[in-house]
Amino acid sequence: MKFFDDYLGQKNKKNHAICGDYCICERTPQGTIYIVCDGIGSGVYANISAINCASRILEMYQNGMSIRTASEMVAAGMHRARKEDIPFSAFSVAVILPDGEFTAYSYEAPSPIIMQDEQATVLSPRFYTAGFEIIAEVYGLLHFGDSLLLFSDGVSQAGLGHGYGNGIGSEGVSDFINRNYKPNESVKELPDRILEMCKSMSGDNFEDDTTLALIHCREAEELTLLTGPPSRQALDSVYVADFMEMPGRKIVTGSTTTDIVARELQKEVETLSLGKAFGQLPEYHIDGIDLVTEGAITLNQVNNIMDEPVEQLSGNSVVERYCCMLHEADVIHIMVGKAANTAHEDLIFKKIGVHLRKATLEQIIAKLKRKGKLVIERYY
């Protein structure tokens, strides 16, 4: 499965504490959307303009509008800002489908660059009008190892007033990559290297807010979490068979769920730890499964420490190893059985602050998405 990493390089305009550029990346099973907005001017007003623009595009897309239509509507609306004192922002937005096919739209923004086969190339746009404004459209396909670069005009206009009439342009960025980037180097360092080049070209200053986003296609690290018995016992065999066919590492969470998996696979459950020590929970083993744990309390503890720094997770407990596996994965498939567990509604669980599985999973999923993970949910 393809996963689209994003690496952001960003510097504020000299003598400004707030950047007037703003970026959003969101991943869904339908695709990855990346938005780079450049608010007019600099400082707080530019930042507000950029946030407003990015939020409008994303909201339209989330509500089912095509990214083309959303881009056209936002660009057409910007025409008023040329005559009225309302927020104005340039933008570039790319939507990348799971197979790597992408379409990008730019308004008053530099042409994107694609890196393929050890070569950076400026994408040639098709221009068309939206109302009184002009939009540029490009498209392509990202294979494993390819990258797409979106950036603000702080990058393309580097060198302006320092020997480059209109700045280095997208072509100058492309040339820099081809001269300086080696295939064995990590692409995640490239945005910062380009920013340093922009600074050097502009008299050792950033004379505009300068933002560069690199979206890199690579093989995803996948993880599947199975928790809770399905809504009907007749679904047990399908539930477990689907789980075992999933790629990557696997976690089973819940005593009843563990029994179902063991029964359907006709395998023994081995007890690795009874979890009697403080902060330790029971851990089991089923051949072919990477981690097998207790249910509600484990999920609650995972949720409690999800936002702790990874370096603080020693891996000495099943909960910490659980969190480490979530942090290491790019794509997390969560398979949830919908059968209600009335035992978890007992007063004793409420006394010790253990929330129901559904509520805890919702919180964990929200945290994973904020960390840039692609979360795919399936219910049985």
Angle subtended at Cα 334 by Cα 296 and Cα 236, rounded to the nearest 5 degrees: 80
Q: How far is CA 362 from the centre of its chain?
A: 17
Residue 72's H or E segment, with its range, is helix 67-77
What number of CA atoms fall less than 13 Å from residue 124's CA on the CB side? 0
- pLDDT at position 348 is 57
Rounded CA-CA distance 180/200 in Å is: 15
State mean pLDDT over 120-143: 96
**Mean pLDDT computed over every residue of the chain:** 92
**In terms of pLDDT, which residue wins out, 44 or 340?**
44
The rounded percent of the chain whose pLDDT value lies above 70 is 95
* Residue 349 CB neighbour total at 10 angstroms: 16
Rounded CA-CA distance 283/302 in Å is: 14
Q: How far is CA 262 from the centre of its chain?
A: 34
* Residue 65 CB neighbour total at 10 angstroms: 15
Where in the chain are all domains bearing CATH 3.40.50?
Answer: 222-379
> 138-163, pLDDT tens digit by residue?
999 999 999 999 999 999 999 998 88
- pLDDT at position 86 is 83
> 271-301, pLDDT tens digit by residue?
988 766 556 788 999 999 999 998 888 999 9
Fold topology of 222-379 = Rossmann fold (3.40.50)
Rounded CA-CA distance 189/194 in Å is: 9
Burial (CB count <10 Å: 0-12, 13-18, 19+), residue 109: buried
Where in the chain are all domains bearing CATH 3.60.40.10?
Answer: 2-219
- pLDDT at position 185 is 85
Does the structure show a pLDDT above 90 at 184? no
pLDDT band, very low/low/confident/very high, at 33 (cuts 50, 70, 90): very high
> 324-361, pLDDT tens digit by residue?
999 999 999 999 999 976 655 555 565 556 778 889 99
pTM, entire model: 0.89
> 196-234, pLDDT tens digit by residue?
999 999 999 999 999 999 999 999 999 999 999 999 999
Residue 327's H or E segment, with its range, is helix 318-328
3-state secondary structure at position 151: strand
In which order are the strands placed within the sheet that holds 270-273?
Answer: 270-273, 283-285, 291-293, 249-253, 222-227, 331-336, 374-379
**CATH superfamily name and code, 2-219:** PPM-type phosphatase domain (3.60.40.10)
